[in-house]
Amino acid sequence: MLQCIDLHIEQGNFIVSNINFKIDKGEYVVLMGKTGSGKTTILEAICGLRKVKSGQIILNTIDVTHMTPGQREIGYVPQDGALFVTMTVAENIGFALKIRKWSKTKIKDRVQELALLLGIDHLLKRSVANLSGGEKQRVALGRALSFYPEVLCLDEPLSALDDATKADIITLLQKLKNSLDIAILHISHSKEEAKELSSSILYL
Amino acid sequence: MSNTKLIAIKKENKHIKKHTVKSNLPFYLVMGIVASTYIILILAMVLADVFYTTPKHIFKALASTEIQYAIKLSLISSTITMLLSVVVAIPIGYFMARFNFRFKKIIDAIIDIPIILPPLVVGLSLLLLFQTVLGQFIESHLRVTYTVYGVVLAQFMVACAFAVRTMYVTFSQINNRQEQVALTLGCNEKQSFFYILLPQAKSGILTAASLAWARALGEFGPILIFAGATRMRTEVLPTTVFLEMSVGNIEAAVAVSLIMIASGFLVLLVVRLYGTKKNTI
């Protein structure tokens, strides 16, 4: 469960305030708002990448407002994917597990499992440099899900994709929504996306 | 409706003269002439050296014990300077590129002091530094002035500034998004630095290292003042050129210059060939 209470974020002249919402396990919430309304800022604050001026971020009854990003264990998929360019697809997906000092075989199994779920098992040995937009999003999803987070944050995962790929990824996200029992927060400016995916919609 | 409008616009524009794109030749010609002038000048300089000397002179120079010592000291000291410079430049570049803090602009300017100072002034300032209480204390434990340590320190003071500049630019040009993702995946800053940022900076590190090495190899002014020009002790290749010229042995000076040009060029070329693989999507 993820809950934001009276969240207030300031960066220079830009202020996002009075953010209140709660996402339960199994829920898929789409956060909608115009460009520049602070959607990404809120997401980054939840992930711990941006300082919060006041208010609270609660993760399963624990106040994580002032914890480091790593301690929060939130899966994060940034808008551009931001895949690790010096690593292969498999290394990207297994990175969080390597940091957690999993054994090599366990990492390999988990990476394989996610790759099958995401339909990228044929790409594992490739470098990330020449992946298509849809493939990049799948790898970014795998990397974010690898360590079994209870919350997954997606920053406009469909905005840079062509229509056919977009439909594929929507199907994939629906599959994840139904098969993983986690809270998902998805940022979007498209009503259709929201309609197809969300269990509830938040407007900013 | 819109169709008829479009036709109307086309008709109206009929009397306008057709636009012709002029040839690109004059542009390329002027740019090319300006660009090649400098490169030809560099090559002409080197060729002048080559034609002045003969293989005999070069072999004679290579056979001299003093010059062999200078070659050895030059290569070793430049390599040590290169390693020190990169080790120092990486943290400075990282802090400058990734953090905002008070007096950042001032520190930014301080980093450039060794670049803008005349080399002789760097040597003189080092000499004065080692006259102070702190300098004397260090000297009482480890003699720096007029020793090979002095050679390395004099090279380092200048070469490091170039490495710092390079690392600063390198880190600034790398978007921090990947590091941020790494933090959410459970890294601390140290892990995201070593696993994510540093591997992306590989070609920048190579450039910084090669710049520092080349700069150190050619360094003369501060070494002359701070470490002296004693044969078989603090004589590096630029010192050899100076010493040979001062006794009128131009042939040896040119021969040593060519050895320096060849070795420096070779190192830079190798680094360029290995360092051009870009890690960008």
In tens, the pLDDT along B108-131 reads 999 999 999 999 999 999 999 999
Distances in Å between the Cα of B87 and the Cα atoms of A159, B74, B163, B167, B263 are 41, 20, 9, 11, 23
Average pLDDT of chain B to the nearest whole number: 91
Domain boundaries, chain A: 2-203
Q: For residues A147 and A100, is the Cβ–Cβ distance under 8 A?
A: yes
Contacts of B178 in chain A (CB under 8 A): 82-85
CA torsion sign, B194 to B200 to B202 to B208? Answer: negative
Residue B9 confidence (pLDDT): 62
Residue A160 confidence (pLDDT): 83
Residue B7 confidence (pLDDT): 62
pLDDT tens for residues A92-132?
999 999 999 999 999 999 999 999 999 999 999 999 998 99
Q: For residues B97 and B171, is the Cβ–Cβ distance under 8 A?
A: yes
Q: How many CA atoms lie within 13 A of A46 on its CB side?
A: 35
Contacts of B183 in chain A (CB under 8 A): 48-49, 68-70
Which residue does chain B place closest to A128, by CA atoms?
B281
| Topology adopted by domain B55-275 | MetI-like fold (1.10.3720)
Distances in Å between the Cα of B37 and the Cα atoms of A153, B33, B46 are 56, 6, 14
How far is it, in rounded angstroms, from Cα A80 to Cα A73? 20
| Topology adopted by domain A2-203 | Rossmann fold (3.40.50)
Domain boundaries, chain B: 21-52, 55-275
Given the cut 0.90, state whether the ipTM is greater than it.
yes
Mutation site for B-interface testing, chosen from A11, A85, A131, A151 by largest number of B Cβ within 10 Å = A85
User: What is the phi/psi pair of residue A184, to 5°?
Assistant: -120, 130
Q: How far is A70 from chain B (nearest CA, A)?
A: 4
Q: What is the 3-state secondary structure (H, E, C) of chain B?
A: CHHHHHHHHHHHHHHCCCCCCCCCHHHHHHHHHHHHHHHHHHHHHHHHHHHHCCHHHHHHHHHCHHHHHHHHHHHHHHHHHHHHHHHHHHHHHHHHHHCCCCCHHHHHHHHCHHHHCCHHHHHHHHHHHCCCHHHHHHHHHCCCCCCHHHHHHHHHHHHHHHHHHHHHHHHHHCCCHHHHHHHHCCCCHHHHHHHHHHHHCHHHHHHHHHHHHHHHHHCCHHHHHHCCCCCCCCCCHHHHHHHHHHCCCHHHHHHHHHHHHHHHHHHHHHHHHHHCCCCCC
pLDDT tens for residues B18-68?
888 999 999 999 999 999 999 999 999 999 999 998 889 889 988 999 999
Mutation site for A-interface testing, chosen from B98, B181, B187 by largest number of A Cβ within 10 Å = B181
Which residue does chain A place closest to B176, by CA atoms?
A82
Name the residue type at position B128. L
pLDDT tens for residues A120-164?
999 999 999 989 999 999 999 999 999 999 999 999 999 889 999
Cβ of A99 within 8 Å of Cβ of B180? The answer is: no
Residue B119 backbone zone (phi > 0: left; psi -120 to 50: alpha; other: beta) = alpha
> Per-residue pLDDT for chain B (281 aa), expressed as one digit of tens each?
555 566 666 666 666 788 889 999 999 999 999 999 999 999 999 999 999 988 898 899 889 999 999 999 999 999 999 999 999 999 999 999 999 999 999 999 999 999 999 999 999 999 999 999 999 999 999 999 999 999 999 999 999 999 999 999 999 999 999 999 999 999 999 999 999 999 999 989 999 999 999 999 999 999 999 999 999 999 999 999 999 999 999 999 999 999 999 988 988 888 778 766 554 44
Q: For residues B267 and B210, is the Cβ–Cβ distance under 8 A?
A: yes
Do strands A183-188 and A28-32 pair parallel, antiparallel, or not at all (unpaired)? parallel
In chain A, what percentage of residues exceed pLDDT 70? 100
Q: For residues A183 and A23, is the Cβ–Cβ distance under 8 A?
A: yes
Closest Cα to residue A70, out of B185, B273, B138?
Answer: B185
Closest Cα to residue A151, out of A20, A42, A3, A17?
Answer: A3
How far is it, in rounded angstroms, from Cα B230 to Cα B258? 22
How far is it, in rounded angstroms, from Cα A128 to Cα A133? 11
Residue A113 backbone zone (phi > 0: left; psi -120 to 50: alpha; other: beta) = alpha
The residues facing A203 across adjacent strands are A32
Give the nearest partner residue to A99 out of B177, B187, B199, using CB atoms. Answer: B187
Residue B272 confidence (pLDDT): 78
Q: How many CA atoms lie within 13 A of A24 on its CB side?
A: 3
Q: For residues A41 and A50, is the Cβ–Cβ distance under 8 A?
A: yes
